[in-house]
Amino acid sequence: MSGTFEINLRINGQEAVLPTTAEKSLLRFLREHNYWDVKCGCEEGDCGSCAVLLDGRAVKSCITLAAACNGREIWTNRGLGRTDELTKKLQAAFVESGAIQCGFCTCGMIIAAKHYLEQGGKADRSQIKEAISGNLCRCTGYVKIVDAVYGVALEMGTGGI
Amino acid sequence: MSEQETVYKIIGKATPRIDGPAKVTGKMQYTSDIMLPGMLYGMVLRSPHAHAEIISIDTAEAEALGAVCLTYADINPIVYNERSVSIPAATYRDRTVLPAKARHFGEPIAAVAAASEELAYQALQLLKVEYKVLPAVFTPQEAMADGAPQLYEQIWLGEEKVAVKNNIGVIRNIEEGDVEAGFAAADRIFEHTFELGRVYHDQLETKGAVCAPEADGSLTVWCTAQSIHANRQLLGRVLGLPLSKINVKKLPLGGAFGSSIQVNTVTPICACLALKAGRPVKLISSREEDFYSHQKYPSVFEVKLGVAGEGRFTAAQVKCLVDFGAHQVQPLPYMGCVAGWFASLYRYGPLRFLGTAVYTNKVPCCAMQGYGNPQINFAIESMVDIICEEMGWDSVEFRLKNHRGVGDEFWGQGPTIRSIIKSCGVPESLTKGGEIFAWKERRPHTEKSGRYRKGIGVARGFHTSGTGGPKEGEVIDYSSCMVKINEDGSVDLISALMDHGGGTWDAMAKIVSQTLQVPMRMIGLSPTDTRNTGYDVCTHATRGVYCGGAAVLYVTNKVKEKLLEYAGRILFEHPAALEIICDEELGQGVIFAKNYHQKSITIGEVAKIAQINSWGTIAYTDSYRQRNCPPCFTTHFLEVEVDTLTGEITVPKALLYGDCGTVINPVLIDGQLIGSFNRGLGYTVYESLDVDQKTGELTNKGLLVDYKTPTAAEMPAAENVLVHWTDTYEPSGPFGAKGIGEAALASVQAALANAVYNAIGIRFAKLPITPEVVLAALRAIDN
């Protein structure tokens, strides 16, 4: 096994110095340190269940190396839900719209939706569909998820947030 | 405000699901999120051969690394079937925790547990296995040929030894009426063959388990499961422990679609590792391993239907051939169910079903949303279109005239479980659906040209609601629960019923809320386990609301009786003179004397007084069995667009019409219908699993990137996904409710194929209809 070393990073707003190894993915690193709202669906960059924000950009943590995150900032859905108004809105909208069934994709979906809206994404269902098409959901058929994001986007567009 | 308006009614209301906040905030824990102090990580060594004897496994080097190893030599070699929904006498048994012989590529051969995932992986590489590679069979035809390599010499049916010949696992033939006379009376006989290949559940949470030996010699288990009691019972047999020493925890499932109807293969492996190690072990499948765990039953159907000139059937016959892989996860009930779904679609007159299910050196097949229903529905509903096209009949009219409806018999789980249909939304869904979709204005494919061609298709289907019948049959069906009123008026609901994500738990809570008039926020769903609950067969067969919900209603009504009796003592009123009305602001159910509302007491006060006076806790626990299996119906009207240049099929518009009786939560019914449409789209135009015919390895190597499922981008625009449900009431259901889950998928594939025919005039009888398949068919016409 390769050697263990420490990395400095901010996770969900808190400074952390945590051990990792060169080959460890950010997904495994986060889950080992109890950030288990970051889900492992495929570990090959396909399903998006493991999405987190890395310096404000949505990334799939299973194909991101933990070691590459030294000095960087990570937010997971659970952390964002405690402090970030937009995420709170999205979370409430997902519950209201019926965008949740088994819930395994949900945290990754919220990250994708937040990223879309923060990058200036509009209340346009077709663009929202594209924006979340890197995240798989086997339960819902996506329509209610699109509805949830659309609702929040509309509210943002009218200065609601 | 009138009195009517003040009545608290939560059944039928669109309400946020009870587990929504925990899931959306990422706080909900699934099996893979369980972390225990001192936990080891398990990994499974899988066979690189499709068929091979295991001569020896050398674990010395792995053990030297500190790993705990598990091989065939370590396990109790009892022979079992992972699925225990059917009664033992109708259950074939052929497997052990780990095998002495590998029967498919990717089959678990040995396992290790070590202090970290990295160490476990290294230990796995150090296991030395000597195999004697055997010839393998990958198709039923190969498998049944004389002289073909045999997967088994003998297996067990219940307690009987059964010899296996030509790899035939199950033969199931069912006949009703004089079929030959029926065909002789036909004006036309139609015969076609339909083929549906293997697909994969792709539930987002891969199968896994965490097992912890406890100080009292018991084992605590967290696992992906559709029935915690089924897991407990099998583990008890495998580990030789009393059931009181095995406690399986109830957890949410990250999707299932049938993939955990059986005890997952990894769960007993994990339990054996934990007991051998004397420490907790966590064993979570990778996605690749999950692909090699279970897949959907493929089926080939040879369908023969006789019709008379006046637009009715005279006889029907289906020959069904199933390649179910290396182990039986119950192709016997599968074929019984397929026969039942076939029989229950139409009033054919006499009918015959001839089913053969064959072992091959492939991944075992298990239930997957519909248990053969989407498969046979594709065949029959395609046939109805073919017949109507040929005979010049309107296929909606034909369906209306010939479908099984109120008063007809429905086979809810094969030939042994039947009940009479009491509610049916088929006429409404076909008639109104036809109006919404302008069915009568549909133009034939001959009038269509150009690169992009649109077509409209219809198909109808159903699924059972549970597997209860007036008489007990091959399948076990009952649920248990306990309902307890706490001393502040809140209510505990304790049940082993599992929720895959469809919202079963939400429905249960709503049933309690409605019956006791207690607001939803005051109802607690116990995160319970097998020790604290009565048996529940499984969340399968679309039985969650209809059967599980009925058990909750039954028990809650008993609690209500006790509550009103105590309230009567306090208020000096006869219990029959009392009623409960929810006070949402107060957060309480309030008991009033009917017609004298000045006299009242909250449920919480009653419970508190009952406690102080030592009358006892207001609680009740029992099991309950439904004695009907009512069909929940669906109709799909779908519009497709075929790009004749690329062969791509898209769906601009979809009408999903469901009949679930009373709607408990409209948001969740929408979710079932839309989600099922999405998956049906995948099975129809994208998804298939193939194996390398030399090695038996999956051609996608178990990689999700090479198994495409529909994303949001492939769905129709949200405003073009129309969801309707019929105005029906099921007299035997809780508050008139039936199921919907599996019905929601049943007719998607046929409706899509029928729409494709209407667009380009080509009938596809084999799924999936990929762009390559479409282009080849178009070229064949051009030539």
List the structure tokens of B254.
């990250």
In chain B, which residues have their Cβ closer than 8 Å to the Cβ of A133? 711-713
Q: Are B119 and A1 in contact (CB under 8 A)?
A: yes
pTM of the model: 0.97
Residue A158 has what pLDDT? 62
CA dihedral B726, B728, B733, B735 (to 10 degrees): 100
Are residue B607 and residue B533 in the same domain, yes or no?
yes
For residues B94 and B325, give the distance between their C-alpha atoms in angstroms, rounded to a whole number: 12
Instruction: Quickly tell me which residue has 């994969």 as its tokens.
Output: B200
Using CA atoms of B666, B671, B677, B681 in order, give the dihedral in degrees to the nearest 10.
170
Residue at which a domain ends, from B624, B649, B669: B624
Query: What pLDDT, on a 0 to 100 scale, did the predictor assign at position A2?
Result: 59
Share of chain B above pLDDT 90, in %: 98
Same domain, A64 and A100: no
Residues A49 and A84 in one domain: no
Number of domains in chain B: 2
Q: Is the Cβ of B686 closer than 8 Å to some Cβ of chain A?
A: no
Q: How far is CA B346 from the centre of its chain?
A: 23
For residue A91, the domain's CATH number is 1.10.150.120
Categorize the per-residue pLDDT at B340 as very low, low, confident or very high, splitting at 50, 70 and 90. very high
Whether residue B647 has pLDDT greater than 70 = yes
Whether residue A60 is predicted with pLDDT greater than 90 in this model: the reply is: yes
Q: Which one-letter amino acid corresponds to residue A67?
A: A
In a domain? residue B598: yes
Same domain, A61 and A83: no
Strand partners, B195: B300, B766
**Does residue B366 come out as left (phi exceeding 0), alpha (psi in the -120 to 50 range) or beta?**
beta
pLDDT in tens, A113-142: 999 999 999 999 999 999 999 999 999 999
Partner A, chain B 603-642, Cβ-Cβ below 8 Å? none
The Cα–Cα gap between B188 and B192 comes to 13
Task: Name the domain boundary from B575, B607, B624.
Answer: B624
Q: Report pLDDT digits (tens) over B484-530.
A: 999 999 999 999 999 999 999 999 999 999 999 999 999 999 999 99
B735-756 residue pLDDT tens? 999 999 999 999 999 999 999 9
* Residue of chain A with shortest Cα separation from B667: A98
User: Does A63 touch chain B if contact means CB atoms closer than 8 Å?
Assistant: no
Domain match, B677 and B590 both: no
Percent of chain B with pLDDT over 70: 99
B452-489 pLDDT, tens digit each:
999 999 999 999 999 999 998 999 999 999 999 999 99
Q: Which two tokens stand for residue B306?
A: 């006789």
Q: Are residues B739 and B657 in the same domain?
A: yes
Count Cβ neighbours within 10 Å for each residue of B275-285 and write b for 16 or more, e otherwise: bbbebbbbbbb
Say which DSSP state B148 is in: P
Q: Which of A43, A76, A109 is the last residue of a domain?
A: A76
What is the average per-residue pLDDT within B667-691?
Answer: 97
Number of domains in chain A: 2
Please check whether residue B223 lies inside any domain of the structure. Answer: no
Q: Cα B671 from chain centroid?
A: 15
Q: Residue B204 is nearest to which of A34, A136, A141, comparing CB atoms?
A: A136
Look up the CATH number of the domain holding residue A29.
3.10.20.30
Q: Are residues B674 and B761 in the same domain?
A: yes
Q: Return d(Cα B239, Cα B349) in angstroms, integer.
A: 50
B137 part of a folded domain: no
Verify that B771 and B640 share a domain, yes or no.
Answer: yes
Please, which pLDDT band fits residue B8 given cuts at 50, 70 and 90? confident
The alpha-helical segments, DSSP class H, found in B117-265 are: 117-126, 140-144, 179-184, 228-239
Provide the token pair at B505: 């738990």
- Both tokens of residue B666? 């409209």
Whether residue B108 is contained in a domain is answered as no
β-partners of residue B296 are: B366
Residues B451, B493, single domain; the answer is: no
How far apart are alpha carbons B640 and B756 in whole angstroms?
A: 6
Q: Report percent pLDDT > 70 for chain A.
A: 96
Angle between helices B373-391 and B395-402 (to 10 degrees): 120
- ipTM of this complex prediction, to 2 decimal places: 0.97
Rounded to the nearest integer, the mean pLDDT of chain B is 97
> pLDDT tens, B66-116?
999 999 999 999 999 999 999 999 999 999 999 999 999 999 999 999 999
Answer whether A49 touches B (CB < 8 Å): yes
Question: Averaged over B692-700, what is the pLDDT?
Answer: 97
**Are the CB atoms for B342 and B353 separated by under 8 Å?**
yes
Query: CB-based contact (8 Å) between A114 and chain B?
Result: no
The domain of B533 spans 3-27+478-624
Put simply, the answer to whether A100 touches B17 (Cβ < 8 Å) is yes
Same domain? A44 vs A90: no
Chain centroid to Cα B681, Å, comes to 18
**CB atoms B30 and A104 under 8 Å:** yes
Shared domain for A72 and A83, answered yes or no, is no
Do residues A9 and A25 both lie within one domain? yes
State the pairing for strand pair B409-411/B299-308.
unpaired
Q: How far apart are CA B544 and CA B499, in angstroms?
A: 8
Q: Are residues B566 and B660 in the same domain?
A: no
Read off the tokens for B770: 């990929």
Kindly report the CATH number assigned to the domain that includes residue B533: 3.30.365.10
Does B703 lie at the interface with A, CB-CB under 8 angstroms?
yes
Do B676 and B543 sit in the same domain of this protein? no
Both B519 and B604 in a single domain?
yes
8 Å CB contact of B255 and A140? no
pLDDT in tens, B222-250: 999 999 999 999 999 999 999 999 999 99
In the 8-state DSSP scheme, what is residue A143? H
- State how beta strands B281-284 and B40-46 pair: parallel
Q: Domain check: are A150 and A84 in the same one?
A: yes
- Our CA-based measurement puts residue A138 at a distance from the nearest CA of chain B, in whole angstroms, of 6
Residue with structure tokens 């609702």? Answer: A151
Residue B714 amino acid letter: E
Q: Which residues of A touch B43 (CB under 8 A)?
A: none
The answer to whether residues B50 and B696 touch, using CB atoms and an 8 Å cutoff, is: yes
Of B596, B624, B652, the one marking the end of a domain is B624
Domain boundary among A26, A41, A76: A76
A26 and A64 both lie in a single domain? yes
Q: Which domain holds residue A105?
A: 79-157
Interface test with B, best of A37, A135, A138, A154 (most B CBs within 10 A): A138
B222-250 as b/e: b if 16+ CB within 10 A: bbbbbbbbbbbbbbbebbebeeebbbbbb
Domain final residue, candidates A61, A76, A91: A76
- Where does the pLDDT of residue A29 fall: very low under 50, low under 70, confident under 90, or very high at 90 and above? very high
Tell whether A109 and A149 lie within a shared domain. Answer: yes
Does B4 have pLDDT greater than 60? no
Q: Tell me how far apart the alpha carbons of residues B199 and B296 are, in angstroms, rounded to a whole number.
A: 5
> What are the tens digits of pLDDT across the range A70-109?
999 999 999 999 999 999 999 999 999 999 999 999 999 9
Give tens-digit pLDDT for B257-301: 999 999 999 999 999 999 999 999 999 999 999 999 999 999 999
